[in-house]
Each structure stands twice: as structure tokens, then as C-alpha cells.
């Protein structure tokens, strides 16, 4: 039991670390109506990591390449959203497809290309290490401090898009594109039902759904001996569905 707890501790911590920033980012994505932005920026980050794998042997070097690629993508997405607001979802979707096509072409000549691409899509959070988490932890701490100091920062495009690109580009190599997207959207959807009940209560629901999904997914991955990323994705979706089916409690009326 102690060995199992030790094995799950770091992956679960990684999931909670990502939830701290992806829950509020997901709220902004839903409120802005730009759901595809996560897929597009994450795919461009993955493309940067794949491109750098040929010349950057160290993991930090690949992360920086992914971050720069994601930042460039966020600038492109922000520009398209301002110039063509009514077509932004379609255009962001095309950015994702274009990035995916370029990634497939890039790894087509690599004997291990399919494995690299699979890891960037599905991830393997079960084997995450503390040194690999350090850049994400530092970026998370800085963003949380900035948002605490000025809560309106996330509503400003000049702060939202760079923060989004930075955090997504650091989380994709660790967790995979699918898990990052699910972490961003599912807790935010569950919390959206309680938007009228107060921001704190909605945020707690989002964190609860996310934490429950990560714990259940990691447990299922170990018990069934299946890849951790897909297990957590499905567990998050089930937890989000359960939260959406539960009716919010209302205060009892005062007796006359």
C-alpha cells in the first residue's frame, strides 16, 4: 500500500498543479467562446517540441521550443479572433489541423516518430518526475501570484493569451494534448452550472471534479494496467458528467 501511495503521489500532485491554472483558464475559454484554442495552441506546442527533438537533446530545450511555438500560435489566434470574430472558431480549428498535419509530416521520416507523436497526444503522467515538473511549478506559482494580485488580468487579451500559451506548452509534454484539453474544459463545464452561486463555490466544484477524475483515472490505470492518460481523460469526463447531473442545492425558504 505504501509503494502504491508513493507511486501515485507525484502524478496526482502534477494533476492538481495543472488544475490550479487550467480551471480558471477554462472558464475564460468558455466565456470567450474559443474552445478550440486549447487544441490549436497545444498542437503548436507539440509541434515545437517535435521539431526541437532533432537538435535539443535536453528536455528543457524542447520545452522552450514548445513555449515559443505556442506563444507564436497564441499571437496568431488572438489576431484572427480580433480580425474575424465571427469565424474565429473555424479558423482556430484550421490552425489545429495545420499544426497536426505538419507534426505528422515532420515525424514521418523518424523511425520513432509514431511513438513520439503518441506520447505528445496521450502522454504518460504516471511516470512524471519532479525535475520535469519544476518549470511548470514555477510558471504556475508566478501566474497564480499575478492573478491574485490583479484578478482582472485574465480578462485582458494581453495577459490571457501569453499565460495560456506558456502554461499549455509546459503541461503538454508532461501530460499529453488530450489530457490537457480535458483538464481545461471538463472542470470548467461542471463549474459553469454554479456560476450564479458564487465564484468560490464554482471553483471548488471545478477542483473537486478535476481531483476526483485524476485520482480515479490513475487508480484505474494501475489496477487495469492501462495507459494513464486515456484513463484519466475518461475518468474526468465521467466525473464531469456526474457533477452536471447533480442538481445544485438551493436554500430552504424561510418559514413565516
pLDDT at 251: 45
* Cell numbers placing 11: 502524478
DSSP letters for 24-91: HHHHHHHHHT-THHHHHHHHHHHHHHHHHTTT--SHHHHHHHHHHHHHHHHHHHHHHHHH-GGGHHHH
The pLDDT value given to residue 57: 40
pLDDT of residue 255 exceeding 70? no
Of the pLDDT bands very low, low, confident and very high (cuts 50, 70, 90), residue 58 is very low
Say what percent of the chain tops pLDDT 70. 86
Mean pLDDT of the chain: 82
User: CATH assignment of 2-244?
Assistant: 1.10.3470.10
Mean pLDDT of all residues in 219-243: 91
| CB of 98 closer than 8 Å to CB of 36 | no
Strand ranges (E), 75-211: none
CA distance 54 to 31: 39
- pLDDT tens string 123-159: 788 888 888 899 999 999 999 999 888 888 888 888 8
- Residue 254 pLDDT: 37
* In the block, residue with C-alpha cell 466544484: 205
CA 234 – CA 213 distance, rounded (Å): 8
Q: CB of 119 within 8 A of CB of 103?
A: no
Confidence at residue 256, expressed as pLDDT on a 0 to 100 scale: 37
Residue 55 has what pLDDT?
Answer: 43
**Which sequence spans correspond to the domains of the chain?**
2-244
Q: Tell me, what's the pLDDT at 12? A: 92
Per-residue model confidence (pLDDT) at position 149:
87
Q: What is the pLDDT of residues 75-129, one digit of tens each?
A: 887 788 778 877 877 888 888 888 889 888 888 877 777 777 787 788 788 888 8
Distance CA 211, CA 150 (A): 26
pLDDT at 229 over 70: yes
Angle between helices 157-175 and 177-192 (to 10 degrees): 130
The Cα–Cα gap between 78 and 75 comes to 5
Percent of the chain with pLDDT over 90: 24
- pLDDT score for 141: 95
Any idea what the Cα angle at residue 52 is, between residues 24 and 106, rounded to 5°? 100
Confidence band of 252 (pLDDT split at 50, 70, 90): very low
pLDDT of residue 60: 52
Q: How confident is the model at residue 253 (pLDDT cuts 50, 70, 90)?
A: very low
Amino acid at each position: 500500500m505504501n509503494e502504491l501511495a508513493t507511486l501515485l503521489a507525484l502524478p496526482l500532485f502534477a494533476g492538481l498543479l495543472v488544475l490550479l491554472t487550467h480551471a480558471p483558464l477554462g472558464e475564460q475559454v468558455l466565456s470567450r467562446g474559443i474552445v478550440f484554442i486549447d487544441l490549436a495552441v497545444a498542437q503548436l506546442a507539440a509541434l515545437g517540441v517535435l521539431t526541437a527533438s532533432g537538435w535539443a537533446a535536453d528536455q528543457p530545450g524542447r520545452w522552450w521550443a514548445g513555449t515559443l511555438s505556442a506563444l507564436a500560435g497564441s499571437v496568431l489566434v488572438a489576431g484572427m479572433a480580433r480580425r474575424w470574430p465571427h469565424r474565429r472558431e473555424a479558423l482556430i480549428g484550421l490552425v489545429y489541423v495545420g499544426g497536426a498535419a505538419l507534426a505528422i509530416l515532420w515525424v514521418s521520416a523518424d523511425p520513432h516518430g509514431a511513438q513520439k507523436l503518441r506520447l505528445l497526444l496521450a502522454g504518460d503522467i504516471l511516470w512524471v518526475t519532479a525535475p520535469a515538473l519544476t518549470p511548470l511549478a514555477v510558471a504556475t506559482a508566478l501566474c497564480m501570484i499575478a492573478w491574485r494580485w490583479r484578478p482582472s488580468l485574465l480578462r485582458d487579451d494581453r495577459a490571457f493569451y501569453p499565460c495560456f500559451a506558456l502554461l499549455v506548452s509546459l503541461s503538454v509534454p508532461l501530460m499529453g494534448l488530450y489530457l490537457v484539453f480535458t483538464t481545461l474544459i471538463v472542470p470548467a463545464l461542471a463549474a459553469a452550472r454554479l456560476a450564479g452561486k458564487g465564484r468560490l463555490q464554482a471553483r471548488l466544484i471545478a477542483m473537486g471534479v478535476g481531483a476526483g477524475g485524476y485520482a480515479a483515472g490513475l487508480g484505474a490505470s494501475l489496477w487495469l494496467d492501462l495507459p494513464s492518460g486515456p484513463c484519466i481523460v475518461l475518468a474526468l469526463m465521467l466525473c464531469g458528467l456526474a457533477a452536471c447531473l447533480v442538481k445544485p442545492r438551493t436554500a430552504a425558504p424561510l418559514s413565516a
